[in-house]
Amino acid sequence: MFGTDGIRGRAYRDVTPRIAARIGAAVVATFGCERVVLGHDPRSSAGDLIDGLLRGLGGTQVDLLGVAPTPAVAFLSATDEVPGIVVSASHNLYQDNGVKIFGPGGRKLSDGEQEAVAAALEAAADPRASRAVGVDASGRLEAYLDAVAATVRPGALEGMRLVVDGANGATSLPAPALLRRLGASVRTVACAPNGRNINDGCGAASPGMIAGETRPGEIGLAFDGDGDRVVAYDRRLIDGDHIIALCGIDRHERGRLAGSTIVVTVMSNIGLHRSMAEAGIDVVTTPVGDRHVLSALEAGGWELGGEQSGHVIFRDLATTGDGLLTAVQLLDVAARRGERPGDLAAAAMTRYPQVLRNVATGRGATDVLEAIEPAVRKAREELGERGRVLVRASGTEPLIRVMVEAPSEAEAASTAQSLAAEVARRAG
């Protein structure tokens, strides 16, 4: 039921109002809460799933934030020390939806908490209790925006020209508003959600949009549908690896990088690892999922980490990955140093060509991964220290993901295609 980032699937088929009701009941059973905060992205199925959640949450008071970025829900969950619930399918298209759950304090669920919620979900009968009391709390989003703004000096972005791609999602209104408040001139694209256009050829998962829309002199920012990640564009794509690298170096040089360590996932580019070694920064690697990154940060007492996809965690500033906070931190580094983000990103790391292939699985992923291990081992031996091969099951979709990094695009593509073909043959 749980993937790397909550519960997600096709709305009305995999994630139904009835299932949402049982999820609500499972949250109450697990946390014994009397109040929760609830937000959603603007996809069309949100209302029906929220109705289901309210049935399952019973007599609980529910603060309804309305359309809100996931990090805003986490922030208010942390502020109030109550569970937070987000109805969203993140970077997926509108046909999908899902539920993300934060424990009291705005924390991603631990493995134990996930298991407890899953067990309660399996055990729960369809709720028959009275519907939860929903309270309009949309005005509380300002407290979240105030907190993000307070991480930099007033007017920190004065003189910057930005273009914001809101993925027609939850950041479409608050992101441009906050960036203007900090002094930037902001133009928007894909900031007109209609319930069916979220992530449709736009946003962090489709960076071609921001690359094509960013004019000379502008800096592009592309958020995903629920606002927990961001990528930038400044004459080149600036992904999560670049952001972590340049923010890590900036903090390290100012003596503000806890433990001189960053945390990334297995998907981070080999170029990041090599540039961090040159800068005297240690790198800790985790499985895919910002939940794993956060767990490692907490265990080590470190503060900066994230994923290549644009999930970046500043643990001293937030409890989870936050696209808007990350954008503000990136732009603040550029403003303080008087340099373009693209130049800072290029100086921070040299990205090795990386090729990704996704292969649908018609049989169990574990069996397929075992069957292709000899081919994976051979590819790794051929690349040696010159590159990297990673083959893994997706945590959110029925796919096996093949990733190859090599000194040249051609070599990476050839190796990735060969492995993807072997996966497809074994999965058939």
Active site residues: 90
CA within 13 Å, CB half, 161: 7
- Residue 155: CB atoms within 10 A of its CB come to 12
Q: Measured between alpha carbons, how far apart are the two ends of the chain, in Å? A: 24
Q: Which two tokens stand for residue 396?
A: 């959110």
Report which residue type is found at 65.
L
* Residue 99 β-bridge partners: 7, 87
Q: How far apart are CA 3 and CA 291, in angstroms?
A: 11
Q: How much is the CA Rg of the chain, to the nearest whole Å?
A: 21
The DSSP secondary structure of 80-138, one letter per residue, reads HTS-EEEE--TTS-TTEEEEEEEETTTEEPPHHHHHHHHHHHHHPPPP-SPPPEEEE-G
With beta carbons less than 8 A apart as the criterion, state whether 203 and 165 touch.
Answer: yes
Which H helix or E strand runs over 400?
Answer: strand 399-405
Taking the alpha carbons of 113, 12, 132, 126 in that order, is the dihedral positive or negative?
A: negative
With beta carbons less than 8 A apart as the criterion, state whether 62 and 51 touch.
Answer: no
Please, what's the b/e burial string for 192-227 (b: 16 or more CB within 10 A of its CB; e: otherwise)?
ebeeebbbbebbbbbbebbbebbeeebbbbbbbbbb
Listed in sequence order, the residues at least 6 apart from 326 whose beta carbon sits closer than 8 Å to its beta carbon are 229, 230, 243, 306, 310, 312, 314
Report the Cα 241 to chain-centroid distance in Å.
Answer: 13
- Closest C-alpha among 236, 240, 267 to residue 358: 267
Decide the pairing of beta strands 219-223 and 161-165.
parallel
